[in-house]
Structure 1
């Protein structure tokens, strides 16, 4: 297939119509900027799990089991710490705080639940108002309060779960308690219920700050915890400026000319504007993973820019003119860039098979972004460079540097030549050593862990001190109170968890409630139980509780209970109708309005392994005759965890297969040598194995954020290998093997060195991210670039020599093979080593 005519046409437009090209690209930039105003942000873990069946079950539960006309609510957690939060003074403090919260209209507090209320109600069952609860505690003696605490602990498991693990029933003491404030959300909060309702967390506005002002008291130690912090915007505002600063420094080293630095920076800005504009026009929310896209595009763009300028300077120093030098540069570099873009886009697009929507968005945005990078750095930058250099000939614009990076005589050139030296002396032995090391690393790498938890999406409790020197507009807080309180709760409270069972079926069938009850018999070990019956909350426990305190309702249940086990078997609609009275009945929390769904809440051991709990939950679900879907945070995150490794493996396989096929086709088309595509893949395999082995060595696990790293490592790694292989193929047309290899590694290697340093440090600034998982992601990306560079400079030369020998080039010497062949040919026997 002939393609040179197309390249020649593009070369001609770049060189001969450079100003038109510049104007066209600037107009497109203005157009793409129109999408910036449409960008929305998204944070937290829900974006990764929203497609899971277990998460859909949670959504269904939220829709089915809430009052039809209930107000949208949000919640705020209260944590009280004291020598004994169950003492009279601490209980009084909490009840006074509760009263102030309920009396503050701007907080829109619907209710405040706390263990102090349970103690007050135990002291005086007739107390129903905040004032009455406070009076009950104030009038009680310490002895009466201790007795009420013991009674509440014996009768109410919810009471003990709201106290810290050091709760002592005998001494009626605990150092901490937790409660919650339920706020009625204002207009515009959305139609969903709970704190996850769309926009619900914004109503009432500043509720955490307002609650803190009401709660704060010099004599009190009550903390207020709101929603998890959204650090996406702050991280972006910290990472991008830091990346640009480092990039400017390394561009200065690579270009050594302020005009060329300006060209490179302009191209980077245009690339980002095009990409962010696409995000806005496409309606893709800017989530935590997309923070990594700008550094990736900056890295690849700088690589393209350095290679273009460096190659152009190589031609210029030979005495060629501006037009001819640029024509030769674009003639070669456009092909290399096209191969890089094709393979990198395949690597990024492999993420569209991921089970996680943000990962799919990341793959699409990164692939589109790299195409924009190719267009801007492959067409716009050469056109602008030609225009500027022509202006330099006509106007007194100084030129500070016009020599390429790296020469055979320079220190950098000598260092880069190490791989060529090895390829001359012992290429096969070196590759065998690399093969053994890679195989061993691969075996070791299979032990890398996977993880998925809410902590992956939260910042550290305290931000690094150096971030406090940032301008106030982007300065993060010194510490995140939400994270501090969350860590405190994890350390000090019993780790019981819940499994929610979403049951679908006709709940008016005579056997419906018996089914719910039987499913809880002889539960698995991870399920909390009492006398071989699982601890549950459901329509069944609601009936049992109502029957205990309501004789009339108990009689109704007995009339419809065939086997006298307290579970009605007949006339269930009548039972439900009776349960709906009084109006504040909890029936809607466990039974769907259409009577075709139910919720059963199981208490499980929070210290048990998530995968064990999940397996047990599905076993219990199988005991229901109706359709039953287990859900809850334990099940959701375990299912997400199982998909992390699956997504990593799928994307890696697709990337390797797709990139290999593309490279075979590209080198067949360009050079008539498809085997060069296989040469290109070898350093990539080495890079991937080294990266995963490094992850295990430093204790990093694959998670939803860094699960894309292998596809990215392939995409960026191929970039480096393609530059070396394509340059070699071009030089190999006119030179012998080793001179071509030497010229390739020194010339292209110099540009690769500048690109590697810029990329490693430019992407490495992600360690400044407030999200620890994103910081680790930046470290892994930097490592992948470093490994790809080393593999391309050290491993590729020997690989190319072996390839040349296999394709019939007799100048490709393999000393070991040649020595064996000489011995065999002469009939001599190798001397004994004994």
Structure 2
């Protein structure tokens, strides 16, 4: 479907019938078929013709460039030599009377069209309607980025001018271009969220980096050090964001990514959350080492050597998780995965280079001046947070089996919720819910059956090297065209009791030329030569190449929009149909169109119904079918990486599986909460598996690696678990609170995807912390206890109480 849209844009002149600019004139509880409504319509038309001159379609007898629900009044007055504005001065009754007279002289097909230009429940002949439409037909706008940008500028200028019209009625412009142009406000929204997240994280970092005032840790030194740690962390994050954006631009120029889009706008916020996490872990371990008596250089070397390995594994697994989006059916998600992976890698590199370098520069000088507040660092484990987190070790010591069973049951429920999630995707999600465009879109859907802005294309292509200009294909297309009027969401007009579809197609052009006495003689001659009957069918073996050539010569613009001919061969045709399916019924419309054109495929052609809404529906189907495989690939790939790491380090690959088990639970728990809170599965929430892995893996690896050290230090398994939760668990809790605050800001967004991202990230962080300090210690306790029962010599005499942290045992 996406490729079909691209081919339509490339091969068909003017990309079909151009675009429709709609203006809703609305007076809830009132009437827009009156003098004020006529004045509003006249002002709207004047504004559009003045502002949109370069893209406004040419006026034609069958379709004026601008028309409205009061067109019979306007054209009737002009035909009678009157000024429509003077008629409005005659009052409401004059307008109603003239409309009634004009409708009596209007052909039935046009009356049917006018009925569709007033809101449901209106009485057009009685001169009563709460809302009406003004339509303007624009050409082009899709041939290039520059043309599309220019069209948005013109339509925004029209929107501004329409807002200055003095009328009792609401005047609401709407178009796809205006809707897409509304995402320009996305940058401001992201900037606001980024600023708020940064401000809150700065405040929390000051708390996390705060040390007890004790001994040589004076108030001045503690404040200065907290500010310095916070500044170094934030500077590293800002550098990571800047470098990631720069590398992203280079990848854009190289064609690796498609664009910076609404989804990728959230990458800086992700880098803030994950980058802060990295810096807190490194800084906490460094201060712990220095507070225990190590020199500045020794402490940093040990911190980088231990935490650095953990962060490396976390970076690799997180990057793998986000890079699974590369195969996503949504190009924006693919770009998001690549840019996020780059940002995470850059943040990791800066954490292990830039942050230690700056910290060492400051601390070497402070150490030489005997101004390093080591007493405050030493006392950190006596603070409230470490003591509170240490209490969670009770679960591992006394209720390990029960904790694990409860966690597994919750994971099972989460998997059920995961399988029950609804999948939703809408471009309008990236606009504020109170956006005027969203409100107008809802009015069009509720009161005008979707309005006139929706176009659905059916692309018909010939097999490679063959042509569509055959009698068999032509007859099948005639049959398909007849079936279109029976599809509910295809717009039709009533002409003499017969439903005629609103569409641009080769069929319509041929029919118009043959029925028009002044039609091109070449087309009539070729049709007659091909033996075309009154129903426009021909012999199955007829060659219609000359007919299409004559049609392209007679009407190059109109025919070029629906017929693609190259080297004397008709390679593709287009049915550009006005539809009213909207996003909700796009899948049904796609299936109905495919059924209508089934006979065309039966004779060898390829048929692809497509539109922006159909593409969205296909995306939903693809996301639904790929979500399970993406989740499994992310978990398995991350588990393999962690297993390899633990095998090389201490020949215990099973520890990698145990470390990833709580992460898999976190993913399922979070999906379960999504189901409970009614958060659908979509392009943004589809990143949950990668996000949960990115957040959960560092937490569990920190715990697992610290436990590997502590189990060698302590003969008592309970003491080992307590030490792990006291030292590493408290750092995790501080990191989690900081990251939750940063991502929690997303929940204040007026954009649905960002708000949902904030919710699920908040859930994922909280659950990842819970799994790391409660579930994983229980697993490690059971596993280590089992090993010690099998090999009691591991702890003989308790002689391994204080080896170096990297000693193998």
Q: Same fold (TM over 0.5)?
A: yes
Indicate how the Cα distance of structure 1 residues 532 and 99 shifts in structure 2: closer, same or farther if over 3 A, else same.
closer
- 2:314 corresponds to which of 330, 340, 364: 340
Indicate how the Cα distance of structure 1 residues 810 and 141 shifts in structure 2: closer, same or farther if over 3 A, else same.
closer
Residues 441, 690 of structure 1: 8 Å contact kept: yes
Aligned counterpart, 1:790: 770
Separation in 1, partners of 2:296, 2:430: 51
Separation in 2, partners of 1:612, 1:337: 48
Indicate how the Cα distance of structure 1 residues 343 and 67 shifts in structure 2: closer, same or farther if over 3 A, else same.
closer
Provide the secondary structure at the position in 2 that maps to 1:179.
strand
TM-score by length of 2: 0.81
Residues 102, 110 of structure 1: 8 Å contact kept: no
Residues 137, 145 of structure 1: 8 Å contact kept: no
Aligned counterpart, 2:358: 384
Aligned counterpart, 2:785: 805
Aligned counterpart, 1:36: none
Aligned counterpart, 2:638: 659
Aligned counterpart, 2:480: 519
Indicate how the Cα distance of structure 1 residues 492 and 414 shifts in structure 2: closer, same or farther if over 3 A, else same.
same
Separation in 1, partners of 2:628, 2:670: 14
Indicate how the Cα distance of structure 1 residues 248 and 751 shifts in structure 2: closer, same or farther if over 3 A, else same.
same
Residues 80, 176 of structure 1: 8 Å contact kept: yes
Tell me if 1:218 matches 2:166: yes
Tell me if 1:565 matches 2:535: yes
Tell me if 1:261 matches 2:210: no
Superposition map of 1:221-232 within 5 A: 221=169, 222-225=171-174, 227-228=178-179, 229=182, 230-232=184-186
| Deviation (angstroms), 1:340 | 1.4
Q: How many residues align?
A: 729
Separation in 1, partners of 2:55, 2:594: 40
Separation in 2, partners of 1:411, 1:272: 33
| Deviation (angstroms), 1:690 | 1.0
Aligned counterpart, 1:24: none
Residues 255, 401 of structure 1: 8 Å contact kept: no
Separation in 2, partners of 1:405, 1:655: 40
| Deviation (angstroms), 1:110 | 4.7
- 2:2 corresponds to which of 31, 55, 58: 55
Residues 767, 778 of structure 1: 8 Å contact kept: yes
| Deviation (angstroms), 1:387 | 1.9
Tell me if 1:502 matches 2:459: yes
Indicate how the Cα distance of structure 1 residues 684 and 414 shifts in structure 2: closer, same or farther if over 3 A, else same.
same
| Deviation (angstroms), 1:395 | 4.6
Separation in 2, partners of 1:263, 1:298: 13
Separation in 1, partners of 2:72, 2:739: 61
Residues 477, 597 of structure 2: 8 Å contact kept: no
- 2:239 corresponds to which of 252, 256, 270: 270
Indicate how the Cα distance of structure 1 residues 215 and 195 shifts in structure 2: closer, same or farther if over 3 A, else same.
farther
Provide the secondary structure at the position in 1 that maps to 2:353.
helix
Structure 2: give runs of 5+ residues left out of the alignment.
59-64, 211-225, 793-809
Aligned counterpart, 2:201: 247
- 1:597 corresponds to which of 564, 572, 583: 572
- 1:374 corresponds to which of 320, 326, 348: 348
Provide the secondary structure at the position in 2 that maps to 1:596.
strand
Structure 1: give runs of 5+ residues left out of the alignment.
1-53, 185-191, 462-479, 813-834
- 1:423 corresponds to which of 381, 389, 396: 396
Separation in 2, partners of 1:118, 1:593: 38
Residues 120, 447 of structure 2: 8 Å contact kept: yes
Superposition map of 1:89-168 within 5 A: 90-91=37-38, 93-103=40-50, 109-110=56-57, 112-116=65-69, 118-120=71-73, 123=76, 142-149=96-103, 154-156=108-110, 157-168=112-123
Indicate how the Cα distance of structure 1 residues 532 and 746 shifts in structure 2: closer, same or farther if over 3 A, else same.
farther
Tell me if 1:771 matches 2:760: no
Indicate how the Cα distance of structure 1 residues 270 and 678 shifts in structure 2: closer, same or farther if over 3 A, else same.
same
- 2:26 corresponds to which of 81, 103, 119: 81
| Deviation (angstroms), 1:419 | 3.1
Provide the secondary structure at the position in 2 that maps to 1:733.
helix
* Aligned-residue CA RMSD (Å): 3.6
Indicate how the Cα distance of structure 1 residues 810 and 421 shifts in structure 2: closer, same or farther if over 3 A, else same.
farther
| Deviation (angstroms), 1:767 | 2.6
Indicate how the Cα distance of structure 1 residues 679 and 405 shifts in structure 2: closer, same or farther if over 3 A, else same.
farther
| Deviation (angstroms), 1:793 | 0.7
Separation in 2, partners of 1:123, 1:579: 34
Tell me if 1:739 matches 2:684: no
Indicate how the Cα distance of structure 1 residues 320 and 121 shifts in structure 2: closer, same or farther if over 3 A, else same.
closer
Indicate how the Cα distance of structure 1 residues 662 and 493 shifts in structure 2: closer, same or farther if over 3 A, else same.
same
TM-score by length of 1: 0.79
Aligned counterpart, 1:713: 692
- 1:622 corresponds to which of 568, 573, 598: 598
| Deviation (angstroms), 1:449 | 0.8
Separation in 2, partners of 1:342, 1:649: 21
Aligned counterpart, 2:615: 636
Indicate how the Cα distance of structure 1 residues 67 and 126 shifts in structure 2: closer, same or farther if over 3 A, else same.
farther
